[in-house]
Each structure stands twice: as C-alpha cells, then as structure tokens.
Chains A and B, each alone.
Chain A
Amino acid sequence: MYYPTSHPWSADQTLGDHLAERGVNRRDFLEFCGSMCAVLGLSNSMLPRIAAQLEAVKRPSVIWLQLQECTGCVESVLRTAEPTIGDLVLDVVSLDYQHTLMAGAGAAVEKALADSMAANKGKYVLVVTGSVPLNENGIFLTIGGRTGREILEEAARDAAAVVGVGACAHFGSVQAARPNPTGAVGIREIITDKPVVNIAGCPPIGDVVTATLVHFLTFGRLPEMDSEGRPLFAYGKRIHDQCPRRAHFDAGQYVEVFDDEAARKGWCLYKVGCKGPATFSPCPIFQWNTRTSWPIGAGHPCIGCTEPFFWDTMAPFYGRLPNVAGFGIESKVDTIGAALAIGATAGVVAHAVATGVYQLRHRKKAEAAASAAGSSTTKEG
C-alpha cells in the first residue's frame, strides 16, 4: 500500500507525455480528470477541456511563503490524498521554496527563492500561509532579517496567482483575535493589485488546496470566489445545509450536554454551540483526512473556522450567541432581556397603581373643592 505511484516529471515533458511514460492509460487519466471535475463542481462537459489542459501543462513553479503562523496549514496539505503530497512535490509542481521541507537553509534557500522568482517571473504560483503583523513596523515576524511584509510584497509582485491558505492568511486567525497584539492582518490587506484566493479554515482541508492548484493549472485562472475570496466550489454552501444531523435539527432533537443520550444517538449539536448555521465550508462533503470524519461527525460542534474573525465572532464556542464586544455579559442577553421585559411590565403596573392613587386623590380634592364652593354658595344664598 505504500508503493510509490509516480515517476518524476521532467521540465520539458507535458503531463500527457509524462503520464504515457508512467504507463497511465488514457482511461485512468480521464478518470482522474473526472474526479477533479466532481471535486471542482464542474459539469462533465468540461472534461475534455480539463484533460487537454492538464496534458499540456509543465511543472509550474510554486513558491510557498510561511509567515506568522502555526504550520497547521502546511501539515494539512501534507495529509492530502489526491494527489498525495509526495506526488505533488515530485511530480505535479516544482516546489522551489518551502521552509518545512527544503533541504538547504539560511542563505542557500534565500538564494533559491530569489533565483526562482527571477527565472519564473510572472509565471509562478505564490502560496502563502500565515498572516502579516503590521504593528511596530512588522517586527513581530522576520525571516533572514527582513519583515514578513517586505518579503510578501516582493514575492507577490511577479506572481501569476496568489493562493492564501488558512485562516491566518485569510484574516490573521488566532493572532488577530482581540486585542490583536501584533496587528496581524490577512494577505489581502497587503496584496491589493491582484486577485487572492482564500482557502479558508484553521486549517483548511488539504485537498481543497490541491484542488484549487489543479484548477489554476487547468484553466490558467483562479476559481470563482465569494466576497471573502473563498472558492465557491468548496465554500459555496453552509455546513448547516449539508449536515447529516440536519434532520435532528428540524425535528427539534438536540444534544443538551455532551455525552448525554442524545449525543450517543448522534443528534444535532445546535444547543451546545454549533456554528454550522453560520459557517460556509465543505467539511460535511469533503470530510477530513481521506474522508475519515469531520468535527460534527466526531461529536464536537463546529467552531466556524472558515469564517472571518471567528475567534471573536463565534466565541464562546459552546454558546449559541457571540460574545459581542462591549456588551459584557454575553449569552446572558436572555436573562437581561427577560429582566427588562418583566421590569417594564412591573413598571407599568406600578405606574397604573400610581395613576389610580393620583386620580383618587385628585377626585377627592376636586370634590372637596366643589363642596367647599357649594357650601359658600349656600351661605351666601
């Protein structure tokens, strides 16, 4: 099962030549293209186009910058199944710069970066994981003595496409959570002159990254995106609308507390804070780690990791409503609301009583006044 499946793909070969040499027959190849069609949500009529394009491409240069990050996104790509990371690195692309895997270090790899950018000017794909800290002139991230911002700006200048991978590159992820001590921002704040695709998630599913690369290699452009820059083929739908526990949601069958009978029956996680109703993500469909499972599938609520600023807007993770800044006592809205509504009712009752008392007194006075006036008249009369 660990038998290596690929041959190297030399620079002067097209994928077609390469596959033919590998003994991959036309049918297998078309099958692969078909599965890519399915992943990318394309109709089968696109198949010949994908096949033709894929057969014609050469191993493109990929430069991968790792900025302010936790490397979880790199690890996620290491788990991809289609193509595997081994095939990706050796056969599909030429990964010219990537800290986690590169053999050389220091000046040697910085030279590799410079050389690749020069040799592939305007043609390389720039993959970025991590965010860019802007506070204090970006001193919170340096590589080779230069700030992350400077490195990113330089690398983006001549890139054919920019693929931001993960919540960090998307909006700064956890380091951008309040109070964002380093001023971390996503790369779209820096790269403003060309489209950036955001493979959202903390981390995203690795296969979405590879599928996006394949899309670019096939069509020469990035896939259609939503307003967040997320590719629609993966992020076009809410989790809640694709969730296998949805029938339980509609039925009103909820896990009240973890590991209760409902949890053991696999009911809906809405009441323990599931953010599926506000999260666009392919998790229920693509699933994680060779389609083994996914967060809700394993009994934990979604924390909304593909949404911008989810560390602030989706927290507390086990509550239904967010901890809105300044409001203070989050998720206590109901308590406060009910107290105010009851208070208003009580106030109204008190006011009614006061009104009644006032009216009674007023009437007595009026009557007294009236009778006083009457008696004087009598006296007079």
Chain B
Amino acid sequence: MAATRVVVDPITRIEGHLRIEAQQENGRITNAWSTATQFRGIEIIMQGRDPRDAWAYTQRICGVCTVVHAVASCRAVEDALGIRIPPNANLIRNLVHGMQFVQDHVIHFYHLHALDWVDVTSALKADPAATARLAASISPWPNNSATWFAEVKDRIAKFVSSGQLGIFTNGYWGHPAYKLPPEANLMAVAHYLEALDWQRDVIRLHTIFGGKNPHPNFLVGGMASAINLDGTATINAERLTDIRDMITRAQRFVEQVYWPDLQAIASFYKDWASIGGGVRNYLSVGEFPEGNIEETDKLYLPRGIILDRDLSTVHPYDPSRVAEFITSSWYEYAQGDDVGLHPYEGETRPKYAGPPTPWTYLQQEKKYSWLKSPRYDGKPMEVGPLARMLVAYAAGHEEVRAEVGAALGRLKVGPAALFSTLGRTAARGVETVLLARRMNTWYDALVNRIRSGDVQTFNADKWEPESWPATAQGYGFLDAPRGALGHWVQIENGKISRYQCVVPSTWNAGPRDAQGQVGPYEAALTDNHPLVDPERPIEILRTIHSFDPCIACGVH
C-alpha cells in the first residue's frame, strides 16, 4: 500500500493552534511533523517593561495553565533581584498552583481527552442500572445512581435526536478504535457533565487569593492578598474555611470520580500501553517548594533527568545546558540557523519561510513551525506528568512509588507500560491524586503559621527600583501541569532588556533540531503507532492529547 499523507489541522480539544502532518503506510504512521500555527511575540513585547509587571504579560501566554507563567515570572524576577518571599506567600502560591494542577488535569481528562476513548453515541445503548452497578464497583461516589444515569442518557438521547449535534458534530463515532462497553461510556459522559460544574467550584480558590480566574493576580515579592482574620476585605476565617472545603471537594472528586474512571477506561485500552512512547529522555525541574526556592531538595515533586528510559539513575539538572534551536522553525538567529542558544543569549526574531497561504501540505518544507526546538545537552526531552512521575519514581519518592505501583498492579502491566500514550495519561492521574492530597498539608501549614501570629505575605525590601542593581539576571523554574517551564530575565537600569521562556509544550511539540532529531510529539506518533483510517485520525488525537498540548504556551 502506498504511503498516504494525512493532515490534521486544526487539532481540536487542545489549547491553541496545532497542525499534525503524518505519513501513513499499512495502517501505521511512518513519519510525523508537528506544526504550531500561531505566533504573538510576547518575549519581544517584554523588552523595556517594568520587571514587576512582567508576570501579568507573561501570564497571558496562556489562559489554561493561567497560573504558571505568572509564578515563573515572579520567581525569575525575584531571583534576579535577590528577593526572598515570605513562607506564607510560598504556601499560598503552592495552594494556587496545586489547585491549578488538579483542575487542569481533570478538565483535560474529561473535556479534552475522554472523547478519544469514550463514544458518546454508544452511551445511548447503556442500561442505567447496570451503569450504576459498574460505577458502584469502582467508587463510593454518591451521585452514581441509576436514576441519575437514566436522566443523563435521556438528555443525550434527546440531544442526539434533535439533529443539532453541536460540539459532537462529525465526531468519529462508531470508529472501531472505541472499545468501551456502553455502560462505561454512559458513566464517563455523566461525569463529563459533573466535572464541568466541579471545576467551576474548586477554581474559586484562585479567586480568593488572586481575585479571579482565569488570570488571577500575583505579585513580585509575595502575594497581594493580605491576611487579617478580623478583616472583611482580607483572607479571614470565612475565606479559609471556604478554601478548606474546596480542597476537600477537589480531593473527593479526584479520588472518587476521576481516578477510578481513568483506571476503568484504561483497563479497556491496555494495547495503548505499548504505543506512542517516543523520545526516551525525561526532564522535570520539580515543583512545589516546601522550603526556600533555592533548596531544590525540598521540592515536593523532585527535579532531575531520566536518560534513555533508565530508571536506575536520576541525573541532575543543570540549567546552563538548555538551548533552543530554530533549524526547523520560522525564526532567524544572528549566528545562523543551526546553532542552539541558551536563553540568556536567546533571540526571538520571527522570519516566516513557508509557502504562501492557503497551504495544503507543509511537510516538504525545511522550516515548518512557529515552535522552537529546546534541547538539553543536545537531546530532546519529554516533559510533563509522566516525566515528573518517572523522575520521582526513580528518585524513590515514596508516595509516587506507592501510587504508581498500585496502578500498575491494578492494570496488571509492568513499569515499561509507562513509556506510552496510556502511561502518560495514567501518570497525570497519579499526580492529581497526590497533589489533591498534598494541598491539605500546605493548607494546614498556612493555618498553623497564621495561628502562631505570622500573617506576612509580602517582602517589601526590594520593591522600589532604587534598591536594584544596574544590571541583574535571573531565572524562574517551575513544573507546570504540562511540564518543565523556565523563564529567564535580564534587567538593565530597572527595565527588562531580555526575556526568554522555554515552555513545556515547546519541549514536547517542537520540530526537528539541527541534528534532525525529532521532538516528543513527532517521536511518539511514529513509535509503534497505528492509524487505521486516514479520514478519521482518532489515533493521532489519542497520542497528541496524551501530552495535553498547549500551543499558546509553546509559541508565545
């Protein structure tokens, strides 16, 4: 059979504008190209601005992981200017970022990923009573009643019969790749709807500390939300109780709905545990500082690197070995297109070199994406929940070992299953369980500090530009829901002179580098990867979605 060229543009149920081109032969993908089709130039826009404002601009890189660029930016500026934030501010940032993870991962699973595995139309054949029995067998979640499943089924039936399918129009319904029994489909659809309500509720934690979501407010030097138990316009007892209840509801939903659903669905798709592995290196910069920011051994999720899938060694992360290539990207560098630049020397100079629009195919072009190609020590790295769980697992993180071990045991697969599309999705679930639980620890620590009389949330020492050196540079790292994030800032005379972000989805979705090495998306799509029907590329969606793409992040 001749090779078929497949184009999926737009890739939907992601953040941003992504195009995948692939070569398909005999039901398999033999080559793949990942293309980001949006550029804004935020790194350029940062030049000349007040470093204290930088968090707000860079936050608008993405409204989905709306916390992470703001925090990375604050950390970079704080690093450059030598500002240490008070412990309360760190705990608040952990709570805000923790809830970001939990909410983002659950939304990703139900609203962005699930329809790759769940056939909504098949749910119509489900027996509500059997669905309730299935649900009861995996979870004590109180809403899982037959009456309710019946109502959801009824709702879907009427919706489908209306002929106006809305967001479900032209889905790949009935594709043979769908394997779930009708009851599992119905259960998942019901929880899809519940998760929509749930996310709106728990994210209010951001609103209490940051005034709104998306795009809550942050502050270089701490947090702006003052604590005063007796105040009406501050973090007080009523607010703290609300937060505690949200954490409880978040944790309950994760443990009783999301994680059981994920494992139940995964058990029908175990073949995906040997598909879509891709690049063999994994990077985590670690996250959730439980001490000062420079105490990297006090990160709840550890920092480190796994090379060539070797879980026996965790290599240390050395920030000076990060470089970005533009060999396949629509940019130019002063020193030519084949060098890799460290972010402190980084350049963002867009130069489109593709065909005129409208395009049919891009893949024959040498340059084919707005994404750069970040490399660590010259190697492509996968970042994200899987990388974090692998690094933590290899580093001997007890909770991670216990949860990952239990999940592998329940699915009856070995650790090698982790290096796959399914492994990626499962790692996200494990991490959500751990973080929802960990938020209680941070909450308790915050309350204890307040009880002992410490209400400080901001360090004003270096707030005024007069207190800054004439030149300064610094970086801020954090592992975002989609993986390792770094912001590098250089400041001259109180103004930003250079700003570079190397972002999770740039690591994962970036194109080929100067050596011709493919990025993680491209590698995963050609790793034992099926594509049965080029007209209905659901397999591509499965693997790409397992990374949880965010292209506005990737190109900024």
> In this assembly, does A240 line the interface, its C-beta being within 8 Å of a C-beta of chain B?
no
Stretch at the interface among B46-54, B290-298, B429-437, B523-531: B46-54
Q: What are the residues of chain B within 8 A of A104 when measuring CB–CB?
A: 12, 169-172
Interface residues of A in 101-116 (CB under 8 A from B): 101-112, 115-116
Expressed in whole angstroms, the Cα–Cα distance for A296 and B196 within the complex equals: 27
Interface residues of B in 36-85 (CB under 8 A from A): 37-42, 44-45, 49-50, 52-53, 56-57, 60-64, 66
Residue of A with least CB distance to B213: A289
Of B13, B170, B357, most A-chain CB atoms within 10 Å: B170
> In this assembly, does B516 line the interface, its C-beta being within 8 Å of a C-beta of chain A?
no
Q: What are the residues of chain B within 8 A of A140 when measuring CB–CB?
A: 38-40, 350, 370
Q: What are the residues of chain A within 8 A of B10 when measuring CB–CB?
A: 99, 105-106, 109-110, 143-144
How far is the CB of B93 from the nearest CB of chain A, in Å? 14
Produce 1/0 per residue, A240-259, CB < 8 A to B: 00001100000000000111
Of B17, B66, B204, B227, most A-chain CB atoms within 10 Å: B17
Contact indicator A102/B197 (Cβ below 8 Å) = no
Produce 1/0 per residue, B1-12, CB < 8 A to A: 000000111111
Contacts A69-B552, A289-B203 given; does A109 touch B213 at CB 8 Å: no
Contact indicator A105/B537 (Cβ below 8 Å) = yes
> In this assembly, does B210 line the interface, its C-beta being within 8 Å of a C-beta of chain A?
yes
Contacts A105-B13, A136-B352 given; does A2 touch B166 at CB 8 Å: no
Of B52, B60, B537, most A-chain CB atoms within 10 Å: B60
Expressed in whole angstroms, the Cα–Cα distance for A105 and B9 within the complex equals: 7
Residue of B with least CB distance to A111: B170
Residue of B with least CB distance to A60: B164
Produce 1/0 per residue, A285-296, CB < 8 A to B: 000111011111
> In this assembly, does A347 line the interface, its C-beta being within 8 Å of a C-beta of chain B?
no
- Our pick among B9, B171, B541 for the contact of A144 (Cβ within 8 Å) is B9
> In this assembly, does B105 line the interface, its C-beta being within 8 Å of a C-beta of chain A?
no
Contacts A71-B63, A182-B39 given; does A258 touch B222 at CB 8 Å: yes
How far is the CB of A137 from the nearest CB of chain B, in Å? 7
Stretch at the interface among B299-307, B456-464, B479-487: B456-464
How far is the CB of B152 from the nearest CB of chain A, in Å? 6
> In this assembly, does A175 line the interface, its C-beta being within 8 Å of a C-beta of chain B?
yes
Contact indicator A102/B219 (Cβ below 8 Å) = no
Q: What are the residues of chain B within 8 A of A68 when measuring CB–CB?
A: 38, 40
- Our pick among A8, A105, A179 for the contact of B162 (Cβ within 8 Å) is A8
- Our pick among A4, A179, A317 for the contact of B155 (Cβ within 8 Å) is A4
Contact indicator B357/A138 (Cβ below 8 Å) = yes
Stretch at the interface among A78-86, A187-195, A217-225: A78-86
Contact indicator B42/A175 (Cβ below 8 Å) = yes
Q: What are the residues of chain B within 8 A of A75 when measuring CB–CB?
A: 63-64, 66, 213-214
Residue of B with least CB distance to A267: B233
- Our pick among B40, B112, B143 for the contact of A174 (Cβ within 8 Å) is B40
Produce 1/0 per residue, B343-366, CB < 8 A to A: 000000010101011111000000
Expressed in whole angstroms, the Cα–Cα distance for A283 and B475 within the complex equals: 34
- Our pick among B151, B163, B226 for the contact of A259 (Cβ within 8 Å) is B226
How far is the CB of B124 from the nearest CB of chain A, in Å? 12
Contact indicator A294/B211 (Cβ below 8 Å) = yes
Contact indicator A289/B44 (Cβ below 8 Å) = no
Of A8, A59, A98, A133, most B-chain CB atoms within 10 Å: A8
Produce 1/0 per residue, B441-470, CB < 8 A to A: 000000000000001111010010000000
Contact indicator B357/A145 (Cβ below 8 Å) = yes
Interface residues of A in 173-215 (CB under 8 A from B): 173-175, 177-182, 184, 202-203, 205
> In this assembly, does A365 line the interface, its C-beta being within 8 Å of a C-beta of chain B?
no
Stretch at the interface among A24-32, A88-96, A355-363, A368-376: A88-96
Contacts A85-B196, A179-B44, A315-B49 given; does A299 touch B225 at CB 8 Å: yes
How far is the CB of B380 from the nearest CB of chain A, in Å? 25
Q: What are the residues of chain B within 8 A of A177 when measuring CB–CB?
A: 45, 57
Produce 1/0 per residue, B218-241, CB < 8 A to A: 010110111110011110000000
Contact indicator B458/A258 (Cβ below 8 Å) = yes
> In this assembly, does A303 line the interface, its C-beta being within 8 Å of a C-beta of chain B?
yes
Contacts A143-B17, A174-B42 given; does A264 touch B227 at CB 8 Å: yes
Contact indicator A259/B56 (Cβ below 8 Å) = no
Contact indicator A299/B226 (Cβ below 8 Å) = yes
Q: Is the interface of A mostly helix, strand, loop or mixed?
A: loop
Q: What are the residues of chain A within 8 A of B198 when measuring CB–CB?
A: 2
Contact indicator A89/B224 (Cβ below 8 Å) = no
How far is the CB of A100 from the nearest CB of chain B, in Å? 7
Contact indicator A106/B115 (Cβ below 8 Å) = no
Contact indicator B208/A105 (Cβ below 8 Å) = no
Contact indicator B359/A142 (Cβ below 8 Å) = yes
> In this assembly, does A277 line the interface, its C-beta being within 8 Å of a C-beta of chain B?
no
Contact residue range for chain B?
35 or more
> In this assembly, does B179 line the interface, its C-beta being within 8 Å of a C-beta of chain A?
no
Expressed in whole angstroms, the Cα–Cα distance for A144 and B10 within the complex equals: 6
Contact indicator B45/A292 (Cβ below 8 Å) = no
How far is the CB of B145 from the nearest CB of chain A, in Å? 10
Contact indicator A298/B225 (Cβ below 8 Å) = yes
> In this assembly, does A266 line the interface, its C-beta being within 8 Å of a C-beta of chain B?
yes
Expressed in whole angstroms, the Cα–Cα distance for A118 and B537 within the complex equals: 25
> In this assembly, does A233 line the interface, its C-beta being within 8 Å of a C-beta of chain B?
no
> In this assembly, does A41 line the interface, its C-beta being within 8 Å of a C-beta of chain B?
no
Contact indicator A90/B155 (Cβ below 8 Å) = yes
Contact indicator B536/A108 (Cβ below 8 Å) = yes
Contact indicator B200/A78 (Cβ below 8 Å) = yes
How far is the CB of A115 from the nearest CB of chain B, in Å? 8
- Our pick among A72, A106, A112 for the contact of B9 (Cβ within 8 Å) is A106
Contact indicator A266/B231 (Cβ below 8 Å) = yes
- Our pick among B60, B199, B203, B357 for the contact of A142 (Cβ within 8 Å) is B357
How far is the CB of A152 from the nearest CB of chain B, in Å? 14
Residue of B with least CB distance to A110: B10
Expressed in whole angstroms, the Cα–Cα distance for A79 and B60 within the complex equals: 18
Expressed in whole angstroms, the Cα–Cα distance for A71 and B56 within the complex equals: 15
Q: What are the residues of chain A within 8 A of B66 when measuring CB–CB?
A: 72, 75
Interface residues of B in 515-551 (CB under 8 A from A): 535-537, 541
Contact indicator A297/B233 (Cβ below 8 Å) = yes
Contact indicator A259/B200 (Cβ below 8 Å) = no
Contact indicator A288/B212 (Cβ below 8 Å) = yes
> In this assembly, does A123 line the interface, its C-beta being within 8 Å of a C-beta of chain B?
no
Contact indicator A174/B60 (Cβ below 8 Å) = yes
Contact indicator B63/A72 (Cβ below 8 Å) = yes
Contact indicator A145/B64 (Cβ below 8 Å) = no
Other than the known A145-B358, A257-B458, what 11 A-B pairs have Cβ atoms closer than 8 Å?
Answer: A8-B155, A69-B63, A71-B16, A72-B62, A84-B196, A96-B166, A104-B170, A181-B41, A259-B224, A263-B226, A266-B234
Chain B positions within 8 Å of A, measured between CB atoms, are: 7-17, 19, 37-42, 44-45, 49-50, 52-53, 56-57, 60-64, 66, 107, 111-112, 115, 120, 143, 148, 151-152, 154-159, 161-164, 166-173, 190, 193-194, 196-201, 203-204, 206-217, 219, 221-222, 224-228, 231-234, 350, 352, 354, 356-360, 370, 455-458, 460, 463, 535-537, 541, 552
5 CB-based A-B contacts, threshold 8 Å? A4-B193, A71-B15, A100-B111, A103-B168, A245-B233
